[in-house]
Amino acid sequence: MAWTLNADRPIYTQLVEKIQKDIVSGIYKAGDKIPPVRELATEAAVNPNTMQKALVELERMGLLYTQRTSGRFVTEDGEMINKLKNEMASEQIKIFLENMKQLGYDTEETISIIKELDKEEEE
């Protein structure tokens, strides 16, 4: 699985966001063991120290925890994961609505377009 990283933002921040998405989308489920630092770093094509920094940040946030001899695991706190998922969704919606406003659409017009596109998808 290729990781898309951009030079315009700190790499470790992008790694944190990618792993957060993997957790909220269910790629890594609550209680799952995540791959070791070196494996993730190789997969993402980043320095292991950068990946370690990202994982430490995720631990600080409470999304990951370490068991001394067993590795890192995703939190088993489903409520925390759902809260993060909702926060991430809200942020994406705010960005989308702002972009639509810049195009000249108000919220009701935007919702109407979404409903129309959703109907087309169902057909």
CA-wise closest residue to 37 among 17, 59, 55: 55
Residue-averaged pLDDT of the chain: 94
- The pLDDT assigned to 9 comes to 92
- The pLDDT assigned to 121 comes to 85
The CA distances from residue 35 to 14, 38, 80, 91, in Å, are 18, 8, 21, 28
- The pLDDT assigned to 3 comes to 85
The yes-or-no verdict on residue 74 having pLDDT over 90 is yes
Q: Report how far residue 97's alpha carbon sits from residue 9's, in angstroms, rounded to the nearest whole number.
A: 23
The arithmetic mean of pLDDT across residues 84-113, rounded, is 95
Domain ranges of the chain: 11-76, 79-122
The arithmetic mean of pLDDT across residues 86-115, rounded, is 95
- DSSP3 helix / strand / coil % (the chain, rounded to 5): 65, 5, 30
Higher pLDDT, 69 or 101: 101
What pTM was estimated for this model as a whole? 0.83
Burial-class residue 98 by CB neighbours within 10 Å (0-12, 13-18, 19+). Answer: exposed
Length of the chain: 123
CATH fold of 11-76: Arc Repressor Mutant, subunit A (1.10.10)
- The pLDDT assigned to 102 comes to 97
Half-sphere exposure of 99 (CA within 13 A, CB side): 6
- The pLDDT assigned to 1 comes to 53
